[in-house]
Structure 1
Amino acid sequence: MKWRNEVAASSTHTRKSHHIQVDRISYSYPDCLSPVAKQQIPASVTVRHQPANMQRRSGSFALGALWVLCSAALLSGVRGNAAGVATPLSAWRNGIASVYDAPTLGAVIGSCGYGAISQSSYPYWSIGALATSNLFFQEGPVEGCGMCFQVQCINDGSNGEGFVGKCNPNWQTNSITFMVTDQCPECQPDQLDLNAAAFQKLAPLVNGRIALQYRRVTCTPQEPVTVRVDANRGSGGWMRLWVMNTAGTAGVAGVSVRTAGTGGPGVPLSNVFGADWETGASPAQPLDVIVTSDDGSTLTLPGAVAASFVGLGAGASNFGQDPTAASAGQVAAAASQQNPPVAAQSTSVAVSG
C-alpha cells in the first residue's frame, strides 16, 4: 500500500504530557481489495502519533496495513460483536460514532496497551475508543479500558444528533457490542470512535459518522482471564502486566500479586497508564495474580506469572465461570462462532489454588 503525507500537524492535543500529532494521510488501494471494499474505504485517513507507551494510532501502521487488509478480509465476515447478548449496566445515552481512520487501526495498538488484537479471538476486532471527556472514561477504573458497550445506530434523527439516513437498513433491530481498547482526546463526550470492523456492522464506512444510542453492558468472553507480562526483572524487581479478557463488568479496579501458594491479600500494583499494572518490587516469584473488578468481585489466578516470565500466560477461569469450564475445546469452539454466546455471570468469584 502506498501512503504519503498530505497535510502535517493539522491539530495537536496534550494529555498528561503525552503529545499527540494529527496528520492527514492519503493512500492508493491494494489490488487484493474488491471494488466493493474499495468503495467503503475513505480516500484519506487521519493518523495520530503518541509516545510508545501511549500510542493511539501509530503512523507506522502502514507498514503492516497491506497484509492485514488482504489476508484478514476485514470488510467481509469479521465478527461484529465482542460478546453475545449481555446484561445492561447503565441507561441508554445518545451520541455519535466515528470510524477509526483506516481498517487496520486500533487492531494493532491502542492507549490501553493491550497490544495487537486478534480477529479470531475475543474481542474479535469489535473494539473502539472513548473520548477522554466521556463519563465512563472519567469515572470508571483504568480509563474505561476493557469495558463493553452496546451500540445501536439511529437512522431517523430521533436522538437529536442528525446524520439521518446513514445507518444500515436493519438499524432498528441491529446492535453491536464493542470493547474499549483506546482513547480519543479530540472526540466529543458522547462520541465513540469505532474500529472499521465494528462500524461497518452499523453503517457503511463511507458515511464516516452516524447518530447512535449506547449503554454499558457486561463483557462475555469465552476465553479465560489471562495475564500478559511485558517486563519482568524477577523476584524483587520491576514488573509490568496487563489483565486480558475480563468478563462481567470488566472494569479492573485493582490487581495484586503474591508469592504463589502463600495466601494473603498480596502486594497491590499501580495503574500507571491505560490498563497497565506495575510494581517496582515484585514478591518472590512465581506469583498468584488477584484481580478485583469494579463491582467488587475478585478472581485469583494461581501461579499466573512464572519466575522471570515474559509473555502471555495461560488462563484458568473468568469472572462468573467455573474453573474447569474454559477448556481448550470450548475456547476453540467459541472462536469459530459468528457471535460468541454469553458466559455465565455472577457477582463474586474466587478461585483458590
Structure 2
Amino acid sequence: MVSFHGFCYTMVIASLFFVVGNGDGEWQAAHATFYGDAQGGGTMEGACGYGDLMQEGYGLETTALSTALFNDGLTCGACYEIKCVDSKWCHPDVSVQVTATNFCPPGGEGWCSPPNQHFDLTQPMFLKIAEYQSGIVPVQYRRISCIKQGGIKFELAGNPYFILVTVFNVGGVGDVHGMSIKGSDGDWVAMSRNWGQKWQTGQQLVGQSLSFQVTTSDANMVQSDDVAPSNWEFGKTYEGKQF
C-alpha cells in the first residue's frame, strides 16, 4: 500500500514515550497525511501484525506512525485523538480517535523521517478533520485510553515446538510491552517479542490449556486463566479478560 505521498506502507502504529494512566495525554504538535481510498483500502496486515483490521475490530479508525512515534513496534495498539489545526483546510471543532496499527517508514518527502512526529491516517479518518485537497495538514494529538469491545484476543500460530501469539484488541493504554504464558502443567514463562505485537515461546505446550499475562506500557497487567482449552488449535483466536 502506498500513502498519499507515496511513502507509507500499510502498517499502523501508535507510540509515545509516556503512558496515559487514567486520563488523556497532553496535546502535542505533529502533521498528518492519508493513505488508501475513500473505502479505507489498505487495512490488511502491516507492521503490527494484526491481520485484517476490519475483521479484528479496528475498522477504519487506524493510523500508521512515523519512526519517532512507532518505537520499533512497541506502541502498536496505542490510541490517539487527532485534530487539524492552523490550516484553511481544517474542519474546525472535529477530532478523530484512532488506534496505531502500522508504520510509516522514513523516506520519500521525509514526513515520516526522524525526528518528525507524523500520522498517516486512513483516508476516511483524514477527511473527517481536513479537506482532501490539502494532502498534508498540521495537527494536534494526544494519547487517550483505548475502549475496546470484548476481551483481549490471542491468535495462535506456530508448531508443536514454537508458539507465536498475536495479541490484539487491548484496552487501557493499548500498547503491550510484556507477555507471559503458562500451560496447565507448568509455571509462568516470559515470552519474547518477535515483531509488532507478535510474541513467541519455545515451550512445548500442545495438549495443555493456556493462560496469559499481558502487561501494557503503564505497567498494568491483566491475567487471563485458561484462555485456550487443552484442545486449542493453531490458527484459532481465543479471548481473555480486558483492562
Shorter-chain TM-score: what band? 0.7 to 0.9
| RMSD value, Cα | 2.7
Q: Is 2:89 the counterpart of 1:166?
A: yes
Shift of 1:87: 5.5
Aligned to 2:14: none
> 2-side partners of 1:305 and 1:174: how far apart?
41
Aligned to 2:212: 289
Shift of 1:312: 4.0
Q: Is 2:153 the counterpart of 1:226?
A: yes
Q: Is 2:35 the counterpart of 1:100?
A: yes
Shift of 1:181: 0.5
Deviations 1:217-260 (A, max 9, x none): 1101122111011x2323xx101111111111112111111113
| Secondary structure in structure 2 of the residue aligned to 1:318 | coil
Aligned to 2:223: 300
Counterpart residue type for residue 301 of structure 1? S
Between 291-300 and 177-186, report the one with greater CA deviation: 291-300
> 1-side partners of 2:22 and 2:43: how far apart?
25
Alignment of 1:135-154 (within 5 A): 137-138=70-71, 142-154=73-85
Q: Is 2:233 the counterpart of 1:309?
A: yes
> 2-side partners of 1:286 and 1:196: how far apart?
42
Counterpart residue type for residue 251 of structure 1? D
Q: TM-score, normalised by structure 1?
A: 0.57
Q: TM-score, normalised by structure 2?
A: 0.81
Shift of 1:277: 0.4
Identity across matched positions, percent: 25
> 2-side partners of 1:150 and 1:178: how far apart?
7
Q: Is 2:125 the counterpart of 1:203?
A: no
| Secondary structure in structure 2 of the residue aligned to 1:198 | helix
> 2-side partners of 1:296 and 1:282: how far apart?
28
Between 300-309 and 183-192, report the one with greater CA deviation: 300-309
Counterpart residue type for residue 192 of structure 2? S
> 2-side partners of 1:94 and 1:269: how far apart?
35
Counterpart residue type for residue 50 of structure 2? Y
Aligned to 1:109: 45
Counterpart residue type for residue 128 of structure 2? K
Larger Rg over CA atoms = 1
Deviations 1:257-311 (A, max 9, x none): 1113x685x1111112111101123345321111111222211222223445123
> 1-side partners of 2:7 and 2:28: how far apart?
28
* Pair 91,47 (structure 1): closer, same or farther in 2 beyond 3 Å: closer
- Larger RCO, structures 1/2 (Cα 8 Å, 6+ apart): 2
Aligned to 2:57: 122
Shift of 1:204: 2.9
Larger helix percent: 1
Q: How many residues align?
A: 224
Counterpart residue type for residue 92 of structure 1? W
Gaps of 5+ in 1: 1-21, 25-41, 49-55, 59-85, 158-163, 320-353
> 2-side partners of 1:194 and 1:257: how far apart?
34
Q: Contact between 1:112 and 1:274, CA under 8 Å: does it hold in 2?
A: yes
> 2-side partners of 1:259 and 1:312: how far apart?
17
Q: Is 2:141 the counterpart of 1:214?
A: yes
Q: Contact between 1:228 and 1:313, CA under 8 Å: does it hold in 2?
A: yes
Q: Is 2:155 the counterpart of 1:242?
A: no
> 2-side partners of 1:149 and 1:208: how far apart?
20
> 1-side partners of 2:49 and 2:2: how far apart?
22
Between 295-304 and 305-314, report the one with greater CA deviation: 305-314
Gaps of 5+ in 2: 12-20, 107-111
| Secondary structure in structure 2 of the residue aligned to 1:201 | helix
